[in-house]
Structure 1
């Protein structure tokens, strides 16, 4: 059985006095890709922000390699966390090469995952396409050789061929290096091609889980709720 890298137990978090997620529990093991699904406003991004400590913990706990999660995001990153938030987390005015140098993994590690970046190294990141920017962001994260990767909708707004490249890189790191991955996604079918297990979040609460082969179960639970959640992010 794979070592549990990330263990979230009964986590409640939110904004001010408002709990946006309530008693969320999940685990991610070494070498495992776990997908977190849910309709818009279900609390998926909030869950990631709470796990890494960007949002306060109202109750519950996040354990990291059997210990309490580091209190600061900087220390968490030093201990092996890579977090790719929603959107293109690149510095537009810097070149691709300088963006990669900002990460502890450097240039070569990112290019190993995405060879397309090599010819783009001198180019300002702001001039890249959306897919190229996401390869830059994910490549920079994977190059640090983290123990766990939290990725928030890396496929958003991208062509299927680019999404396949991103997911292939994530799966490769999981298989080759034992990377634990928690992947927030809006495209269940595509994500299940690389995931081992899944969780389903609705209205800030965990309502289901299964293995990747349980696609029919996910359909039964997810599709009827896709338009039922109120805006809550």
Structure 2
């Protein structure tokens, strides 16, 4: 049987259209909810709506990063490296002002050296210490100044509504925790008495598909499959396991 990610460019045209459509849907949903909460929501009057909006923005922020991740593997627009790079940089800017170039170099190193000392995402120890290393790896001085300047500019534009800038900053922070825990820590964490299947040093959580989608856009439930077939987009991971 052929590899699930080995289709030709012509064969991947339907996949390309689906990936682009889903990416556009996630970006549009994030943008609409972002604008609605920051500019129009009365959080003190509607605390439950504010909480639901915060949770929704956290999940959609996770989705922004997953789109960037797929773009790194050429899975958003197969056969179009420049379009993948443009989409990846756009969603990283929306997410937290991150650098596409910095992240793609680190992520490719993760795939080459998964679960070893040369893996920039690997940090054996407690989840807290590992997350701290994870943040230091991807959040440098450039990100600090870009994110800080954007928050200040946003606050100045919002005027009396400046506290609502938290509906951009807080979901990004919570999404980083979600991405780390479900997409890095659980899949790559060594466990006593358990051996990984291969050099990828990764496991899949085997949770239900709805929970896999909610937790981390299938990158927890199907993480080993992602390492086996990195060019497969997030939405095709469940079918890829069945096919492979």
For CA contacts below 8 A with separation 6 or more, give which structure has more relative contact order.
1
TM-score of the two chains, using structure 2 as the length reference: 0.30
Structure with a larger share of its residues in strand = 1
Structure with a larger share of its residues in helix = 2
> Larger Rg: 1 or 2?
2
